[in-house]
Structure 1
Amino acid sequence: MTTIVTILTPGYADWETALLNAGAREYYQIETRFATPGGEPVTSAGGLKVMPNMAVEDIEVDRVDAILVNGGTIWSTEDYPDISSVLRAAHAAGTTVGGICDGVTALARAGLLDSVRHTANGPESLPETGYAGVAHYVESPRAVLDGRIVTAPGTAPVSFMGAVLETLGLRNGDLDFYLGLYAAEHQAA
């Protein structure tokens, strides 16, 4: 069974991967799991409390198809969890690795954006990470997919969902319809 693990942190931005996880689970029957640093319960920016399935440290990268880093303000503080080894191991195993909003900084810290096209909330959100990929930065309001790396600004949860599902081999007319349905409010009237 295809499995997606979403990494959540205290104060995570609940809206950024909600559509992706709901669509993956309900429409595509993908197993969706949630991991937190230390396996501790977390509360979102909106007050949603989550008891995770596992600790980030217990993710078996060769047994999952995608690892996604949900955004949240912790990624731009000194208290961010260092998940670089998990992200590098996942990438080396051929697993899709994605980040949205401030979650992209975790990919930058892991060195995963140094040689691939990517986006973020803005290029200024990445330099303090040891980031060396400025030449590959793409200013985009939508998710950017390069190989099995998916990045998106926090304003792009719909295209982030599409890019992640595309890496899992699910890009077809059904997905395009689903994406159009949820992005309809952003189309010109």
Structure 2
Amino acid sequence: MTTLLTILTPGFADWETALLNAGAREYYRLDTRFATPGGEPVTSAGGLSVAPQLAVEEIDPSDYDALLVNGGSIWQQPDAPDLTELLQSAHAAGTVIGGICDGVIPMARAGLLDDRRHTANGPESLPDTGYSGGALFVGSPRAVLDRGIITAPGTAPVSFMGAVLEALGLRTGDLDFYLGLYAAEHQAGSSSAASS
């Protein structure tokens, strides 16, 4: 069975991988799992408490088809978890790797963005990581998929979901319909707010 593992940290941004995990689990019947530093329960920015299945330190990348890094302000802190070895091992194993919002920062630190197109919240969010892929940065409001690596700004949970599922070989008309359904409010011509 295809398995997705999402890394969550204290204060993680609830909305960034919620749609992906819900669609993967309920519609596609994929196995969705969660890991946190030390395997400790975490509370999101919105107050959602999550008890993970395992600790980040216990992850064996070969056990998962996709490894996803959820965003959160912790990734900007000097004491952020170091995922470099884990992400490099996952990349070497051919695991699909995705990061959204500040979850892109540990991917840059691990060198995964040095040689492929990528995006983030903005180019200014990555220089302190030491990465050398600035010339391949794409200023995009949507997720960018390049050879199994997915990056997205925090405002793009719908296209992030689509890119992850596409990278897993699940791009079908059903997925296109699902993406259109959840992105409908952002289509040209839709009103900005419903009136009563």
The 2-side partners of 1:37 and 1:84 are apart by 14
Percent same amino acid at aligned positions?
75
User: Which position in structure 1 is the counterpart of 2:145?
Assistant: 145
Distance in 1, Cα, partners of 2:135 & 2:154: 21
Residue number in structure 2 paired with 1:12: 12
Distance 2:63 2:171 in 1: 22
| CA distance in structure 1 between the partners assigned to 2:132 and 2:42 by the alignment | 31
AA aligned to 1:92 is A
In 2, Cα distance between the equivalents of 1:124 and 1:152?
14
Structure-1 separation of matches of 2:182 and 2:21: 14
Q: 5 Å matches for 1:167-186? A: 167-186=167-186
Name the residue aligned to 2:187.
Answer: 187
Unaligned runs of 5+ in 2: 190-196
Question: For residue 193 of structure 2, what is the aligned residue in structure 1?
Answer: none
Residue 26 of structure 1: aligned partner: 26
2:43 counterpart of 1:43: yes
Paired with 1:60 and 1:74, the residues of 2 have a C-alpha distance of 23
Kindly report the root-mean-square deviation, in angstroms, between the aligned alpha carbons of the 2 structures.
0.5
- Aligned equivalents of 2:148 and 2:59: distance in 1? 18
- The structure 1 segments of at least 4 consecutive aligned residues displaced by more than 2 Å after TM superposition are none
Report the counterpart of residue 100 of structure 2 in structure 1: 100
SS of structure 2 residue aligned to 1:67: strand
Aligned equivalent of 2:60 = 60
Q: d(CA) in 2 for partners of 1:84 and 1:5?
A: 16
Question: In structure 1, the residue corresponding to 2:33 is in which secondary structure?
Answer: strand
How high is the TM-score relative to the length of structure 1?
0.99
Provide the C-alpha distance between the structure 1 equivalents of 2:97 and 2:85, rounded to a whole number of angstroms. 12
Give the distance between the partners of 2:63 and 2:42, measured in 1 at CA.
24
Spell out, residue by residue over 1:45-92, the C-alpha distance to the aligned partner (whole angstroms, 9 max, x if none). 000011100011111111110000000000011121001111110011
For 2:46 and 2:188, locate their aligned partners in 1 and report how far apart those are by CA, in whole Å.
29
